Each structure stands twice: as C-alpha cells, then as structure tokens.
Structure 1
Amino acid sequence: MYHLTALVTLLAIAFYFFTAINVSRSRDKTGVKVPAMSGHPDFERAFRIQMNTLEWMPILLPALWLFAIYISDAIAAGLGAVWIVGRVIYFIGYSQAAAKRGPGFAIQALAAITLWVGAIGAVVLRLVK
C-alpha cells in the first residue's frame, strides 16, 4: 500500500488549494478585479506563486507515484514532503519579493527531479532485466 504517498499527494493538493485562496484574497486586498491578471505587484506575485505551483504539479505527481511504486513509498513520501516544504519556502519568499523565491524553488525542483530520475531509472532498470 502507498498510504504515505497518498497522504503527501493530498497535502500537495491542499497546498495548491491554499495558493488559489491566496490569489482570491490578494484580488480583494489589491483591488485587481476578475478577469484582470495584472495591476498590482502583490497580486501578481500571488498569482505567479499559484501558477508556478500548478506548473510543477504535473512534474511532481507522476514522478512521486512512480517512485513509490518502483522504489519506496516512504522515500517517495519523504521527497514529496520536501517538495511541499520547498513550495512553502517559495511562497513565503516570493510573497515578500520576486528576488526571494530562489531557495524555495531550488528545494522543490531538486525534490521533483530526484523523484523523476529515481522513477525513470527504476523503470529502465526493469526494462533491461
């Protein structure tokens, strides 16, 4: 069973939902009305945080699950949790200033790439056996 990976998947989705709520709150706070996508730097940063999180989820989720299936549920979940922590650090930094987004981005990218490399390595290894 993959209970840990399932939990991390649900937490990643919850974090994404949080970023969507944050965009809505930012619209209210800054006065950026729907359907506008720009107009105030605070709103634009909140929107980019949400969109960048969305852009990374199709990279994370398949790699997370394939890693869990082919290698380890616990290790996949641990790396997935690191991804979420990286996204939180990204959120905090980018909310303050665009220049502060780097550390969180690096953490989450490293976690996602590790999951992907591990998954593809495990799949290829089984194919050549």
Structure 2
Amino acid sequence: MLDQIHLLAAVTVLGVLEQAYFFLQVIYARRAFGISPPKISGPPEFDRIFRAQVNSSEYFPIFLALLWQAGLFFHQGLAAALGLVYLYARYQLLYRIQGLILRKGEHLCQPWSMQEPLGFAFGNHNVLQRSSRLLLAALVSLHDSALPSFP
C-alpha cells in the first residue's frame, strides 16, 4: 500500500511546508508594516501578501482532495507531478509579489493587469488553469485507456 501513495504523501508534506512558509511571510509582513492581529488590512503591499496567503489557504483543501483522488484512482506519478506544478505556481505567485514590493520606484501592479493588482493570481492565472486542464485531460485519457473494451 505504501508504494502506491509515497509520491502523494511527499507532495502533501511539501504542500503543508509551503503553507507554513506562506504563514511566516504574512507574519514578517505584519512586523514590517506594523500591523498587529486581528487587523487584516493595511498598506497595499501588506494586503497583496496577505491575500496571496489567504487565497492559497482557501484552495489548499481542494488541492489535497484532488491530488489524493487523482493519485489513488488514476495515476500516482502524474497526479504528484501536476501537484508539484501547482505548488510551484503558488510559490511563484508569492515570490513575485514580494519581489515587486521590495523593488523601489515600481508600481506593484505593473507586470500584471492594471485593472486588478493581483491579476496573475485571481484573473489571469494561466499556469494554474493550464495545470488543472492538463490534469483533467490526463485523467480522462488514463481512465478511458483503463476501461476494458467489449466486443
């Protein structure tokens, strides 16, 4: 049984560690901008980091459910690989937001949509859309190939 879930378990542990990292980034941002809990708003820079962390936390249970269902019922390796793509995309989101905040003299919303400061995260999240579509297509093709053919 363990050989059937070891990749899924590794991606799950990595996802939990990523969530802990995101929580720490919000704590550091609270200290840097002088925002004490339970306040959840402040300067736009803090709001962006906080929203990226909260958005990741909101979708984490859905990610785990899909990861484990795909891995157990279809293909463990493919589900784990696409899970890693998802976790990498979430990390890149927070990393880019922090990079923009740390640069001086640059508008925070410049690289993405001017209408929405986090257009990459909430509007134009192409990486996440592509990985979820790829996962769905792969699972459907694996499911179809696993079905027995009847004469």
Does the alignment reach a TM-score above 0.5?
yes
1:15 is aligned, of 10, 13, 18, to 18
Gaps of 5+ in 1: none
Calculate percent identity across the aligned residue pairs: 26
The answer to which structure has the higher helix fraction is: 1
The SS at the match of 1:2 is: helix
1:106 is aligned, of 122, 126, 130, to 126
- Aligned mates of 1:106, 1:73 — CA distance in 2: 24
Listed one character per residue, the Cα deviations across residues 71-126 of structure 1 (whole Å, up to 9, x for unaligned) are: 1111111000000111111112233234545289321343245445656884xx97
Q: 5 Å matches for 1:21-32?
A: 21-32=24-35
Give how far 1:17 is off: 0.9
- Aligned mates of 1:119, 1:111 — CA distance in 2: 12
Give how far 1:56 is off: 1.8
Q: How many residues align?
A: 126
Does structure 1 residue 70 correspond to structure 2 residue 73?
yes
Using the size of structure 2 for normalisation, the TM-score is 0.70
- Aligned mates of 2:56, 2:27 — CA distance in 1: 16
User: Quick check: which has more Rg, 1 or 2?
Assistant: 2
Q: 5 Å matches for 1:86-97?
A: 86-95=89-98, 96=100, 97=108
Residues 9 and 68 (structure 1), Cα distance of their counterparts in 2 relative to 1, 3 Å cut = same
Using the size of structure 1 for normalisation, the TM-score is 0.81
Contact 1:4 1:77 in 2 (8 A): yes
- Aligned mates of 2:13, 2:136 — CA distance in 1: 19
Give how far 1:59 is off: 2.3
Give how far 1:4 is off: 0.8
Give how far 1:18 is off: 0.5
Gaps of 5+ in 2: 101-107, 113-117
The CA RMSD over aligned residues, in Å, is 2.7
Give how far 1:66 is off: 0.9
Contact 1:63 1:116 in 2 (8 A): no
1:44 is aligned, of 47, 58, 61, to 47
Contact 1:60 1:112 in 2 (8 A): no
